Amino acid sequence: MAAQQEFPIVLEGGKLVDGTGNPPVENAAVLIEGERFKTISRKGQAPYPKNAKVIKTEGKTLLPGLWDTHVHYRDWMAELFLAHGVTTILDLGNSSTWILAQRDGVAKGKIRAPRIFACGDPIGEGHGKRGEVKDVGQAHALVKRLLDEGVDAVKVWAHCTAEMLKVVAEEAHAAGRKVIGHLGVITARDAVLNGLDCLAHATGLPMSAVKDSEKAQWMLNQEIKRLQTMIIGEPGITAWGLFAMMEEDTFDQVAEFLVSRKVRIEPDFVYRWQLASRRREEREYEDFITFSDPRLSYIPEVTLSRNMRAWQVYRRLNEQQLQELKEGYEKFQKFLHCFVRAGGEVDIGTDTSEGRMPGKGVHREFEFLVDAGFSPRDIIVWATKGSAEFIGKGDELGTVEAGKIADIIVVNGDPLADITALGKIETVIKSGEIIDTGYHPDYSNPIPRPFEPALHSYPVPKIARISPTMAVEGSKPVTLAIEGEGFVRGSVVQVDGVRVPTTCTGGKEIQAQIPAHLLARVGTYTVMVVNPRPVSVKDPLHEDERSNPKYFMVSFS
Ligand SMILES: [Zn+2]
């Protein structure tokens, strides 16, 4: 249980958009006692305790705390989420031991962060990852383990087949858990027929919205090929191009099918479609400014470089890719309209991990949906009530109603009229507690995320031994042999903080020349191997891309 204020809180005078979809309430008065909403009324209608802390909200709007339902949580993200009014997240992929420890630490009030729901290891991950499964039996064993550990939902990833999904969904549903999929080898239709509840990034949708089955298979093959590289700019069709191939005369039928099965679609515009935003340049600059904020200096370098590269890709797109981006974006928006008209619910998730901005991403996703022509009131319901119901917590969370857990934000302005008002967050209350929404350079997580090497990154080098370990002052340059692991082309040896000429002679050996000027002085000097960036996530248990130190001594001649 989070620490609560000893005094009740009253938010009075503002416009309340309670997340139920009901018309907004002007001049509202919201009384919070302990961790819950006590009464929701109009200013002056209901008495409130004398010791209540009254927050005036005239000219402002009150909304339920926001949700981001597609997060790969990192230990540095909390302040960015909270500052942007995101009080709850659903994590769709992390080692289950770590993320469940975070979830429980937050619930106990020990970690200042948004409330966490989590899936743990995604089932059907790529080669060598924790969620890799080779057959139906392994998929079954993994889902059972995750459910035993207490995950809140189940995520399947691209290598999950229809047969695997079927057993996973059966187990998950029996335990009252939903299944979310980032699909790769199967279409949305096949996934839904086998029990999927939510399409992450709308994956699998394009292949389900074409009439010819050979064409659908070709699209699946392209998707699988893309999974292996994940690089935009590789020859072949982009993910956008697959959406551009969708046939509009299938839309109503596909939408009705998905709605009949109560499937949610997560468009994830901020991830897949951020380059299509009409505010692209503005947003890129905004990210640059955020990364330059000295109070946020704890954001790892790899996040900055991945984020900036994701924007810079735009300048390298060729004409065909630009066309695929534009056409895919338009088609996808059209499809979403058919889906919503048929009664479908959109899922607001951003896929923030190393490369996208936590917190801000949710506001941008709202903007994309407004740009696509959806009403702010619907979007707010999807992002709050809808998310809470999806995760099975609709009776406790997601709306501003008496008796529910008090997650509420105050924004300056009216996001129903102008969605950018969401950016003007004034107060964030989570579980009845007024949250500090500032950035603090000393923010740290009591349980840092264990290091996991990721795709397209170098290992952290380790030195086992060096030889020789000593020279005498004034000697000629010394050739130092270093044994260890994690050495790559581009590894450089650093002696006493100075990078010296290095030859990588093999995976487990590296040689360095210690120049004469470093041998001129008696002393004990550190020897380290530095690998090129990026080294996966910044490893909180090590400094960064450097190895452990060994020592080289220079003695008197
Ligand atoms: Zn993801």
Q: Tell me the CA–centroid distance for residue 541 and ligand 1, in Å.
A: 24
The pTM of the full predicted model, rounded to 2 decimals, is 0.82
Q: Tell me the CA–centroid distance for residue 377 and ligand 1, in Å.
A: 26
Q: Tell me the CA–centroid distance for residue 315 and ligand 1, in Å.
A: 25
- Looking at this protein, which amino acid is placed at residue 101? A
Q: What is the pLDDT of residue 468?
A: 96
Cross-strand pairs, 483: 465, 509
Those residues with Cβ within 8 angstroms of residue 229's Cβ, 6 or more apart along the chain or in another chain:
none
Dihedrals phi, psi of 373, to nearest 5 degrees: 105, 10
Cross-strand pairs, 154: 179
Tokens of 426: 């004034």
Cross-strand pairs, 552: 525
DSSP letter at 132 equals -
**Residue showing tokens 């969605």:** 419
Q: Tell me the CA–centroid distance for residue 225 and ligand 1, in Å.
A: 18
Would you kindly state where each structural domain of the chain is located, as residue ranges? 63-434, 462-555
Tell me how far apart the alpha carbons of residues 168 and 196 are, in angstroms, rounded to a whole number.
9
Tokens of 304: 């900055």
Tokens of 357: 């901005």
**Pair type for strands 60-64 and 15-16:** parallel
Q: Tell me the CA–centroid distance for residue 92 and ligand 1, in Å.
A: 6
Q: Tell me the CA–centroid distance for residue 89 and ligand 1, in Å.
A: 13
CATH classification for the domain delimited by 63-434, as one of 3.30.360.10, 3.90.1150.10, 3.20.20.140, 3.10.440.10: 3.20.20.140
Tell me how far apart the alpha carbons of residues 206 and 239 are, in angstroms, rounded to a whole number.
9
8 Å CB contact between 382 and 393: no
Sheet containing strand 179-181, strands side by side: 154-156, 179-181, 198-199, 264-265
**Residue showing tokens 């020592």:** 551
Those residues with Cβ within 8 angstroms of residue 444's Cβ, 6 or more apart along the chain or in another chain:
298
Tell me how far apart the alpha carbons of residues 217 and 438 are, in angstroms, rounded to a whole number.
50
| Burial of 78 (C-beta count, 10 Å sphere; 0-12/13-18/19+) | buried
- Mean pLDDT, consecutive 10-residue stretches, the chain (557 aa), reads 70 97 96 96 90 96 98 95 98 95 96 97 85 94 98 96 98 98 95 98 96 95 73 67 96 98 96 93 94 90 85 90 95 98 97 88 97 96 98 98 98 96 97 95 88 61 93 94 88 90 84 93 92 56 68 92
Tokens of 309: 């590269």
Tell me how far apart the alpha carbons of residues 489 and 486 are, in angstroms, rounded to a whole number.
10
- Looking at this protein, which amino acid is placed at residue 337? H
Tell me how far apart the alpha carbons of residues 514 and 499 are, in angstroms, rounded to a whole number.
9
Tell me how far apart the alpha carbons of residues 379 and 383 are, in angstroms, rounded to a whole number.
6
Q: DSSP assignment of 401-464, as one string?
A: -TTSB--EEEEES-TTT-GGGGG-EEEEEETTEE------TT---SSPPPP---TT-PPPPEEE
Q: Tell me the CA–centroid distance for residue 216 and ligand 1, in Å.
A: 23
The architecture (CATH level 2) of 462-555 comes to: Sandwich (2.60)
Dihedrals phi, psi of 283, to nearest 5 degrees: -70, -40
Q: What is the pLDDT of residue 478?
A: 95
Q: Tell me the CA–centroid distance for residue 45 and ligand 1, in Å.
A: 46
Q: Does 534 sit behind a cis peptide bond, omega within 30 degrees of 0 on the bond before it? A: yes
Q: Tell me the CA–centroid distance for residue 69 and ligand 1, in Å.
A: 10
DSSP letter at 534 equals P
Q: Tell me the CA–centroid distance for residue 338 and ligand 1, in Å.
A: 25
Question: Residues of 226-250 as b/e, b for ≥16 C-beta within 10 angstroms?
Answer: beeeeebeeeebbbbbbbbbbeeeb
Q: Tell me the CA–centroid distance for residue 120 and ligand 1, in Å.
A: 12
8 Å CB contact between 223 and 258: no
Give residue 347's Cα distance to chain centre.
14
Q: DSSP assignment of 340-353, as one string?
A: HHTT--B-----BS
Q: Which residues are in the CB-under-5-Å shell of ion ligand 1?
A: 351
8 Å CB contact between 104 and 150: no
Q: Tell me the CA–centroid distance for residue 57 and ligand 1, in Å.
A: 36
SS (H, E, C) 236-263: CCCHHHHHHCCCHHHHHHHHHHHHHCCC
Tell me how far apart the alpha carbons of residues 54 and 58 are, in angstroms, rounded to a whole number.
12
8 Å CB contact between 148 and 172: no
Q: Tell me the CA–centroid distance for residue 244 and ligand 1, in Å.
A: 22
Q: Tell me the CA–centroid distance for residue 355 and ligand 1, in Å.
A: 11
Query: What three-state secondary structure class fits 39?
Result: strand
Q: Tell me the CA–centroid distance for residue 493 and ligand 1, in Å.
A: 36
Size (the chain), residues: 557
Tell me how far apart the alpha carbons of residues 437 and 379 are, in angstroms, rounded to a whole number.
24
How big is the chain by its Cα radius of gyration, in Å?
A: 26
Q: How far apart are the first and last CA of the chain?
A: 66
CA distance readout (Å), 179 to 173, 353, 433, 536: 8, 20, 31, 28
Residue among 87, 92, 121, 122 nearest 107 (CA): 87
Q: Tell me the CA–centroid distance for residue 71 and ligand 1, in Å.
A: 7
Q: Tell me the CA–centroid distance for residue 34 and ligand 1, in Å.
A: 35
Those residues with Cβ within 8 angstroms of residue 124's Cβ, 6 or more apart along the chain or in another chain:
131, 132, 133, 139, 156, 157, 158, 159, 160, 161, 164, 184
Positive or negative torsion for Cα 33, 39, 41, 47? negative
Those residues with Cβ within 8 angstroms of residue 556's Cβ, 6 or more apart along the chain or in another chain:
472, 473, 522
